[in-house]
């Protein structure tokens, strides 16, 4: 049975590189089709307001707003995640933090891969985001992928320049596939 992986674009800015990075990532998922069903989720389209639920998500998923119920359903049906995260001032985006904070139990026990982009490959934002994900029970994979100097990472044809990529995207997708298949903690940091 095919596993469901949500590829979440973590930036909602009008002029953002997240869409191009997600498109590039999705181009590498074709060889995994059948084993993994990758679904792109754009937080700009999900359009969650700042956390507005009256009760904290840890209290048992007693959501009152339809946008939260829809978000909960989307995340609950996933077996794993790929987070496409920018680096803003050495941190990840507030939209991504907000999206994670809306839920709690829906994240638990699921593996995740992070693809970061920014000036230095988003190592700072990935490190910070890893802590938040671990707290809500997501199991981040040990190895992640960064794209450096995002403002010049794509050529005139929209192709990502190989020298800007820090990590092997196909190997990382394979490690996510292995984790989804085994459920073991071997590739988890």
For residue 186, the model assigns a pLDDT of: 40
Phi and psi, residue 157, nearest 5°: -95, 5
In a domain, 121, yes or no: yes
Among residues 46, 29, 51, 50, which one has the least CA distance to residue 113?
A: 29
Q: pLDDT (tens digit, 9 = 90+) per residue, 168-185? A: 999 999 999 999 998 654
**Residue 174 domain flag:** yes
Specify if 73 maps to a domain: yes
Q: pTM of the predicted model, to two decimals?
A: 0.93
Residue 155 lies in a domain: yes
Q: What is the rounded CA–CA span in Å between residue 4 and residue 76? A: 10
Quick check: is 27 in a domain? yes
**Mean pLDDT, all residues of the chain:** 92
Q: How confident is the model at residue 158 (pLDDT cuts 50, 70, 90)?
A: confident
Contacts of 189 (CB under 8 A, 6+ apart): 130, 140, 141, 142
pLDDT one-digit tens code per residue, 16-43: 999 999 999 999 999 999 999 999 999 9
CATH code for the domain in which residue 14 is found: 3.40.50.360
pLDDT recorded at residue 60: 78
Residue 55 located in a structural domain: yes
Radius of gyration (C-alpha) of the chain in whole angstroms: 16
In the prediction, which pLDDT does 187 show? 43
The domain of 110 spans 3-182
189 part of a folded domain: no
Report pLDDT digits (tens) over 67-108.
999 999 999 999 999 999 999 999 999 999 999 999 999 999
Residue 114 within any structural domain of the chain: yes
Beta partners for residue 106, in sequence order: none
Of 51, 46, 42, 38, the C-alpha closest to 71 is 46
Count of structural domains, the chain: 1
């Amino acid at each position: 049975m095919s596993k469901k992986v949500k590829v979440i674009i973590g930036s909602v800015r009008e002029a953002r590189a997240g869409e191009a990075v997600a498109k590039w990532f999705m181009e590498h998922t074709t060889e995994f089709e059948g084993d993994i069903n990758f679904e792109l989720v754009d937080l700009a389209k999900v359009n969650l307001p700042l956390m507005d639920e009256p009760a904290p998500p840890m209290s048992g998923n007693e959501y009152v707003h339809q946008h939260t119920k829809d978000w909960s359903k989307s995340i609950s049906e996933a077996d794993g995640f790929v987070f496409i995260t920018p680096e803003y001032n050495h941190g990840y985006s507030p939209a991504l933090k907000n999206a994670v904070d809306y839920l709690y139990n829906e994240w638990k026990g699921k593996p995740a891969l992070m693809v970061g982009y920014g000036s230095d490959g988003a190592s700072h934002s990935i490190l910070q985001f890893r802590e938040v994900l671990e707290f809500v029970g997501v199991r981040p994979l040990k190895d992640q992928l960064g794209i450096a100097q995002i403002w010049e990472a794509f050529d005139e044809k929209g192709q990502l320049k190989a020298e800007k990529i820090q990590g092997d995207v196909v190997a990382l997708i394979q490690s996510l596939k292995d984790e989804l298949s085994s459920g073991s903690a071997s590739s988890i940091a």
